[in-house]
Amino acid sequence: MLLLAFDTATPAVTAAVLDTGTGEVLASADQIDARRHGELLLPTVDAVLREAGVAKERLGAIAVGVGPGPYTGLRVGLATAAALGHALGIPVHGVCTLDGIARAARDGGFVDGPFLVATDARRKEVYWARYDADGVRVEGPAVDRPAEIDEKLATLPAVGAGALLYPDAFPGALEQAPAHQSAAALAAFAADALASGAELPSPSTPLYLRRPDAEVPKNYKTVLPS
Amino acid sequence: MAADEPLVLGIETSCDETGVGIVRGTTLLADAVASSVEEHGRYGGVVPEIASRAHLEAMVPTVQRALDQAGVKASDLDGIAVTAGPGLAGALLVGVSAAKAYAYALGKPLYGVNHLASHICVDQLEHGRLPEPTMALLVSGGHSSLLLTEDITSSVRSLGATIDDAAGEAFDKVARLLNLGFPGGPVIDRYAREGDPKAIAFPRGLSGAKDPAYDFSFSGLKTAVSRWVEAKRRAGEEVPVRDVSASFQEAVVDVLTRKAIRACKDEGVDHLMIGGGVAANSRLRALAQERCDRAGVTLRVPRPKLCTDNGAMVAALGSEMVRRDRAPSAFDLSADSSLPVTDTHVPADHDQLHRLSE
Ligand SMILES: [Zn+2]
């Protein structure tokens, strides 16, 4: 099956086409531009499909990163995936964005024991998750201030831009490991999960992890001088 | 309905309504709307992040509902139109992302169009093609504008707009002051029907001889209503909600219609259309009709459901773009929260058009 994968939950705008039969990544593209997910995603999807020589009608499924990640960018990927899946009549599978980064770190040989993945959640917080030696997520995803993460965990090897951003909190941050998401790794993770029958998160339930910022207005303010 | 007229699906997500409409030419085939208004109620106004989350959830089901309603296949469409702006940035981006994906997957041209021009163009679904020129008064919670259009696909000019609150915002704030809930427009309209519009002389903003002829201001009016109501409350008297509603509403619609008629006369335009959510206001409709009749201007007001934000209006403008052979948008189309009203649509530049046709 031909699997199209993309993710917009980190500063990366990344897309890839994977042949799940052979495990071969037919094409992939990664750009880092946190402010232009909306402009860049569809042209990037088009570019990888062209490079792979795959007509969109031949796609069998879509895998999309469901976060956690800054909401506006995250929604670009999810809205795109939902509409593509609907129009093409193919299933859309969600993947926790941190699982993609974890997969890339393991496939790249940067980790072999337990480790953390942390991305930038802004507002001095990180989105993070903990993985065991087999690369299985055992804790998270969660959003916290780096200093609030249990010290025993925070000293594990850590990958991702969130770990690099707070070296004091993450002394095990691995500078050489990929800092952002890559859709090729996301696709590989999704393909394995689908093959093994593992459950993937619903693409219609983004991992926001925070409630919307909204304040109930205070009681009516008087305008007459008191 | 002419079978050869362009069949277009339109997506609107600029505020709190997820709208998907389908039109063929000037014929409305489907108008599906999912609203998050109830979730915003307790905040007294639209919360952008709540709206954006709701758009994402509602998008695909609303598109499917529109296709079912219209009884057409997605593959039969001649184009996909979407509100590119103005509006809430994050909310717009959900619609724009989905529209691009639909256009791409279906192999159809994409038209990023202007929300305000769409509000004007929707009247074509009710009263047939817009006369050229047409004066438009757009009034809602987000806008209060006087616009002159010579060609809805390419020429819309702003004559005036609110310098502070939008008209609908003033309704919301006064409704909150009177503890009538959110949104304020419909409930104030209802109370006003039983009140005396002349009971309280509220100010008419920017109506002096030296004031800008076509601009609006509702902030002073809102403050005047607050002061009046507070004074009553402090004196321990009961607030006459019906009279306050009627007098406030009269002040708003008096200024709106007066300035709109004046613009028609000054510009020699004999058709006035009124759109936006506040166009549903019964007193605005009645007074506009009265004054248009007196001035020899033909009034066009679409039915209330087409006046509020919806996908049909976007589809109506998209269909007109196809009919007049306007250039489609590129797939790097961005959502522009402050898209100028003069940008009726966002065409691809010349180089991009070449790439699109590859
Ligand atoms: Zn509107």
SS3 per-residue string spanning B146-207: EEEEEECCCEEEEEEEECCCCHHHHHHHHHHHCCCCCCHHHHHHHHHCCCCCCCCCCCCCCC
Q: Is the distance from CB of A40 to CB of A224 less than 8 angstroms?
A: no
**A188 and A87: one domain?**
yes
DSSP class of residue A212 equals -
Q: Is the distance from CB of B77 to CB of B7 less than 8 angstroms?
A: yes
**A154 and A125: one domain?**
yes
Q: Is the distance from CB of A68 to CB of A9 less than 8 angstroms?
A: yes
Residue A208's φ and ψ, nearest 5 degrees, are -75, -40
Which among A36, A45, A87 is the nearest to B106, CB-wise?
A: A87
**A86 and A116: one domain?**
no
Any idea what the CATH number is for the domain that residue A106 is in? Answer: 3.30.420.40
* Structural domain boundaries, residue B253: 131-304
How far apart are the CA of B89 and the centre of ligand 1, in A? 14
User: Are A220 and B176 inside 8 Å of each other by CB?
Assistant: yes
**A114 and A71: one domain?**
no
- Binding site annotation covers B185? yes
Predicted structure pTM score: 0.94
**A140 and A73: one domain?**
no
Choose the final residue of a domain: B282, B304, B326: B304
Q: Is residue A91 part of a domain?
A: yes
**A9 and A77: one domain?**
yes
Residue B356's φ and ψ, nearest 5 degrees, are -60, -35
Report in angstroms the alpha-carbon separations of A30 from A13, A27, A83, B78, B333. Answer: 6, 11, 22, 33, 19
Q: Is residue B71 part of a domain?
A: yes
- Binding site annotation covers B172? yes
Q: Is residue A116 part of a domain?
A: yes
Residues on chain B touching A36 (C-beta within 8 angstroms): 334
- Binding site annotation covers B309? yes
**B14 and B98: one domain?**
yes
- What is the ipTM for the molecules in this complex? 0.94
Spatial CA neighbour of B95 closest among B78, B115, B71 = B115
**B287 and B161: one domain?**
yes
Which of A35, A39, A209, A219 should one mutate to test binding to chain B, selecting the residue with the greatest count of B CBs within 10 A? A39
How far apart are the CA of B142 and the centre of ligand 1, in A? 6
**A66 and A17: one domain?**
yes
Residues on chain A touching B64 (C-beta within 8 angstroms): 86
Q: Is residue A104 part of a domain?
A: yes
**A86 and A131: one domain?**
no
Q: Is the distance from CB of B284 to CB of B253 less than 8 angstroms?
A: yes
**A8 and A46: one domain?**
yes
**Mapping DSSP to helix (H, G, I), strand (E, B) and coil, where does residue B323 land?**
helix
* Structural domain boundaries, residue A146: 98-165
The number of folded domains in chain A is 2
pLDDT in tens, B270-315: 999 999 999 999 999 999 999 999 999 999 999 999 999 999 999 9
Residues on chain B touching A40 (C-beta within 8 angstroms): 332
**B162 and B212: one domain?**
yes
Which of A40, A75, A207, A219 should one mutate to test binding to chain B, selecting the residue with the greatest count of B CBs within 10 A? A75
Any idea what the CATH number is for the domain that residue B180 is in? Answer: 3.30.420.40
Q: Is residue A25 part of a domain?
A: yes
**A66 and A147: one domain?**
no
Q: Is residue B94 part of a domain?
A: yes
Tens-binned pLDDT, residue by residue, of chain B (358 aa): 556 899 999 999 999 999 999 999 999 999 999 987 777 777 767 889 999 999 999 999 999 999 999 999 999 999 999 999 999 999 999 999 999 999 999 999 999 999 999 999 999 999 999 999 999 999 998 889 999 999 999 999 999 999 999 999 999 999 999 999 888 999 999 999 999 999 999 999 999 989 999 999 999 999 999 999 999 999 999 999 999 999 999 999 999 999 999 999 999 999 999 999 999 999 999 999 999 999 999 999 999 999 999 999 999 999 999 999 999 999 999 999 999 999 999 999 866 656 655 5
Which among B74, B94, B231 is the nearest to A87, CB-wise?
A: B74
**Mapping DSSP to helix (H, G, I), strand (E, B) and coil, where does residue A190 land?**
helix
Residue B90's φ and ψ, nearest 5 degrees, are -65, -35
Which among B50, B59, B104 is the nearest to A214, CB-wise?
A: B50
**A108 and A89: one domain?**
no
Residues on chain B touching A219 (C-beta within 8 angstroms): none
Q: Is residue B35 part of a domain?
A: yes
Helices (H), A155-205: 161-165, 183-196
- Binding site annotation covers B114? no
**B77 and B94: one domain?**
yes
pLDDT in tens, A113-159: 999 999 999 999 999 999 999 999 999 999 999 999 998 899 999 99
Q: How far apart are CA A3 and CA A26, in angstroms?
A: 10
Q: Is residue B230 part of a domain?
A: yes
Which among A81, A86, A212 is the nearest to B47, CB-wise?
A: A212
The number of folded domains in chain B is 2
**B143 and B237: one domain?**
yes
